[in-house]
Amino acid sequence: MIKLKHVVLTLTALGALMLLPTTTKADNLAFTFTPSGYVASSGSVVTLFATFNNGNGPIDFLGFADNLQAGLSLSGLQPFDTDPAFFTTLASNSSLGPIAIFKVLIDPATPNGTVFSLASNQFVITYLNSAGGENTVAANFSITVQNAAVPEPATLILLGSGLGSVGLARLRKRRRNSPE
């Protein structure tokens, strides 16, 4: 009799768990930078784009935190700050993006070839999950500084003298061939 009582209680508990709403399941929000690597020059502003995938349960974006490396800083108002539609609920099993999520200014004094590799703890998004709790999610990205080559002064002088010589040669030829 006791064993039957345990079986009935166990089956009742399992049935109750199966009837609970899906909000008790864990959310699996993920985001990736699209692309994950950027190339830009010193002093420029890079707009980073991301795609969000929500696997289970609606979520609401709350904001972000950044811990950017020296040489990088946020530039002006961020899309999070200016786009109220971004904070709307991202439905279960849906995607959003790629969308502009923030702008980074590269210090003008950054040397050519510098690579900023940002680990997932340097840009974190906070959201309210379907169970009402706060969660965070992060992704990696990199920015490579590639400045345009600036010609040396000697190269510019050589180019200028060559163009001047060609111009003088054409002028002399024109004068020789012109009837007086």
List, in order of start, the domains of the chain with CATH numbers. Answer: 27-166 (2.60.40.10)
The token pair that represents 56 in the structure block: 């289970």
Q: What integer is the mean pLDDT of 8-18?
A: 57
What are the E-state strand segments in 87-174?
Answer: 94-106, 115-118, 123-128, 134-138, 141-145
pLDDT of residue 21: 45
Q: 10 Å Cβ neighbour count for 134?
A: 9
Q: What integer is the mean pLDDT of 36-48?
A: 89
Q: Which residues contact 125 (CB under 8 A, 6 or more apart)?
A: 31, 61, 63, 64, 136, 137, 138
Q: 10 Å Cβ neighbour count for 153?
A: 8
Q: What integer is the mean pLDDT of 52-66?
A: 77
Q: What integer is the mean pLDDT of 28-53?
A: 85
pTM, whole model, 2 decimals? 0.60
Mean pLDDT of the chain: 76
Q: How many helices (H) and strands (E) does the chain have?
A: 3, 10
Q: Which residues contact 66 (CB under 8 A, 6 or more apart)?
A: 74, 102, 122, 123, 124
The token pair that represents 180 in the structure block: 């007086």
The residue ranking higher by pLDDT, 150 or 68, is 68
Q: How far apart are CA 107 and CA 41, in angstroms?
A: 9
24 — pLDDT class (breaks 50, 70, 90) = very low
Note the helical H segments in the chain. Answer: 2-19, 79-82, 153-177
- In angstroms, how far is the first alpha carbon of the chain from the final one? 130
The token pair that represents 116 in the structure block: 């900023």
Using DSSP bridges, classify how beta strands 45-54 and 94-106 pair: parallel, antiparallel or unpaired.
Answer: antiparallel
Q: How far apart are CA 131 and CA 129, in angstroms?
A: 5
